[in-house]
Amino acid sequence: MSGTPGRLLSLLSLLQARRDWPGHLLAERLEVSPRTVRRDVDRLRELGYPVRATTGPDGGYRLAAGAELPPLLFDDEQAVALAVALRLATASGVGTTDAAWRALATLRQVLPARLRARVDAVEATPLPTAGAAPTVDPEVLLAVSAAVRAHEVLRFDYASPSPRPAEDGAGASAEHGPVPARPPRRVEPHHVLARGGRWYLLCWESVVSTGAASRGAGGTGAGSTGDGDWRTYRLDRMSPRTPTGPRFVPREVPGGDPGAFVAALFRGSRDPGGSGAWPCRGEAVLSAPAADVLPYARDGVVEALDEGRCRLRTGSFSWTGLAASLLHHGVAVEDVRPAELRAAFAALAGRCADAAGSGTPTDA
């Protein structure tokens, strides 16, 4: 799209992307004169877009917020980016799959034929994550995100992944008697993060002054000492309560990067710098071609030795876990380093031998 219509589309796109634009900067971006920018702004106003003039040394323009706007216009890059985002939303782990497809269909209907063809050409199919990732209720995501944005203490019930004894209708277990109700958790929410199809809350949880039993419950009460630690909670297991608690002053995440810090937590590390390095790292030679090992090496480094062997350098949260991860390739393992990893293989061999002999023989 060229000429005035294309320039108006570019001008509207710029006004939507930034709150205030100096007039001379708009002219430079559009490669026109300031007078042409003024005329194009008048044309947008005639179309119903509330473009306001701003005062200041340079003067400029602002697209007013909260007004009723005509259908939004997208340039080529925005249309393709939005189509990709909507397609990938089906694998985001949030229960908005149907809404994303409806939004994509709506977008397609209002685009001109040229852009509609470009959007239809985006055939990105997200692959499912390993295992069945649970779906997060959009209302939970909105409630948690709102508490993060407002810096308000979040109260929520949490479904623990650990198995619990079956309860009867009165809330009692036949073996363990009455099951006490767990108080809601109280945390300072800081960041919402997505990882591997799951959504997590990074938060600061204070330690309850009443002792270890309360700390084990994961909640804080009015007697909180103010001491605590960083925790992560899965959003699909959370049930936020209303109203939220008082406002708090946000804390600085160790290392300054929430993503790197959470990556370190998932690797069993509490490195204040959030480097994310595995606490246990080792290497071994696998009797398999490098091309066969590479797709399953995750963040490991694969070095080809010959056509049938390769060296894999990788890490894990424990030496036993590292040994097990090397065995899952299903090939012979040799030249294991360091000594801690060799000891873990020995311990794992003993467990495997015990497991192999623990079955009940059956009659032929």
Per-residue model confidence as pLDDT tens digits over 34-90 = 899 999 999 888 877 888 888 776 678 988 765 555 555 666 777 778 877 887 776
At residue 202, the pLDDT reads: 95
At residue 157, the pLDDT reads: 95
Residue 164 structure tokens: 């619990």
Helices (H), the chain: 3-17, 23-30, 34-46, 76-88, 97-110, 113-120, 138-150, 212-217, 258-266, 290-293, 319-327, 339-356
Segments of the chain with pLDDT less than 50 = 1, 163-179, 209-225, 274, 363-364
At residue 172, the pLDDT reads: 41
Distance CA 203, CA 190 (A): 5
At residue 66, the pLDDT reads: 54
Amino acid occupying residue 153: V
Contacts of residue 108, defined as CB under 8 A and 6 or more positions apart, other chains included, come to 116, 119, 120
At residue 234, the pLDDT reads: 93
At residue 347, the pLDDT reads: 94
Tell me the whole-structure pTM to 2 decimals. 0.58
